Chains A and B, each alone.
Chain A
Amino acid sequence: GDSVTQMEGPVTLSEEAFLTINCTYTATGYPSLFWYVQYPGEGLQLLLKATKADDKGSNKGFEATYRKETTSFHLEKGSVQVSDSAVYFCALSAFAGGTSYGKLTFGQGTILTVHP
């Protein structure tokens, strides 16, 4: 079945450091890929998405590129801020014959803590 694997956390960085959170997936066909962020006590917010190979999603300084050859969708940010401290989830939405299964399959989440 479909699965998403994220790098193990937690990740602790100093402000202005470079961030990479690795994400690889297994899916049949060509899934859509997403990064969601969850701040303490809140629901998930869509951070960025990519729907086909070589697409780059970007938002709020975060970027991720859909790499079909390596089945990866790594999240990067050039300079993190304290306000970026949150849990980050990589997810995929699978399709079969052009029809969506509807569900998102999530990675286990990566806790990011940024210190001043």
Chain B
Amino acid sequence: EAGVTQSPTHLIKTRGQQATLRCSPISGHTSVYWYQQALGLGLQFLLWYDEGEERNRGNFPPRFSGRQFPNYSSELNVNALELEDSALYLCASSLGTGSYEQYFGPGTRLTVT
């Protein structure tokens, strides 16, 4: 069974640009979560999507946004990139709102110069 996949693996952007990160959940999983792992700051929750709807949002500015498609894949968009947005962005999926376990992808390394 294929795990959570993310693309691209690495992304280099310039300050002020926009970045788009993509995630495909495990087959059968309807919930997708996004986390930011910045150096020295640990793992911070960004967004949770389930059945195409945003269910919860972490303490991040509105320039972090996303969506979930009918096939349950998801996209994270970061607008007006800042240097401090440089981080590993991890996507996770779970069976649904009643499931406790989240399974993570390998991440997208975003570097803002």
Contacts and interface: CB of A to CB of B under 8 A. Distances in A.
Interface of A: 32, 34, 36, 42-46, 49, 51, 89, 93, 99-109
B105 A101 contact: no
A103 B42 contact: no
5 contacts: A43-B104, A44-B92, A46-B104, A103-B58, A106-B43
Contact of B100 (A93, A105, A107): A93
Contact of A102 (B4, B31, B103): B31
Most buried by A among B48, B50, B100: B100
A104 B35 CA distance: 9
Contacts of B104: 36, 43-46
Do most interface residues of chain B lie in helix, strand or loop, or is the interface mixed? strand
Interface of B: 4, 31, 33, 35, 42-43, 45, 48, 50, 55-56, 58, 90, 92, 97-98, 100-107
B45 A103 contact: yes
Contact of A51 (B33, B90, B100, B106): B100
Contacts of B90: 43-44
Contact of B43 (A32, A49, A89): A89
Do most interface residues of chain A lie in helix, strand or loop, or is the interface mixed? strand
Contacts of B58: 103
B56 A43 contact: no
A102 B107 contact: no
